[in-house]
Amino acid sequence: MTQPVSTALRALALALLLSPAAAQAHGIESSLTRLESLTNSLVLESRFSNGEPTSDAVVRLVAPDGESLELGRTNAEGQLSFALPKQANGEWELQVDGGPGHRDYLEMPVKAGQAQLDQISRHHHSNPLPWLSALGATAMLLGLQRMRRFR
């Protein structure tokens, strides 16, 4: 194998190993429960797929009109307590951001400020970076092969 092609294959392997796809194997699983108290608060609990709490993750609440409200950060146990706006209605989204490749999204139907916990669904936003890095590495490999032919 010639030197440029060997180098290109190493670069491709490195790009695929370092791509965010590897980080997605360590995803986040989140759940919501209602506190049985006078406050009518909800408790979000987020854990990595290996069971560890997702601590210090940024949690956002996105209204049906797209307006985003940062609720705070999860504690050391991966939990955050919060309340919905009193007259909230419609499809809201709860976003848990534990860093690059570590995100969870919950779609939450809300009626009169009450989350419909039995109707919550998980929504996965696709990450284009793994595909872009693989496409770039493939283009580089093809370019090096063309250069080799013209020598």
Percent of the chain with pLDDT over 90: 40
Grade residue 113 by pLDDT with cuts at 50, 70 and 90. confident
- Residue 19 domain-assigned? no
Specify if 44 maps to a domain.
yes
Average pLDDT of the residues in 107-128: 77
* CATH label of the domain that carries residue 114: 2.60.40.10
pTM of the model as a whole? 0.62
Looking at every residue in the chain, the average pLDDT score rounds to: 78
104 pLDDT more than 90: yes
Domain span at residue 42 reads 26-126
**What is d(CA 30, CA 91) in angstroms, rounded to the nearest whole number?**
18
Domains of the chain: total: 1
pLDDT(57) > 80: yes
42 within some domain: yes
Strand blocks (E) in 3-145: 28-34, 42-48, 58-62, 68-73, 79-82, 90-97, 103-111, 114-115, 121-122
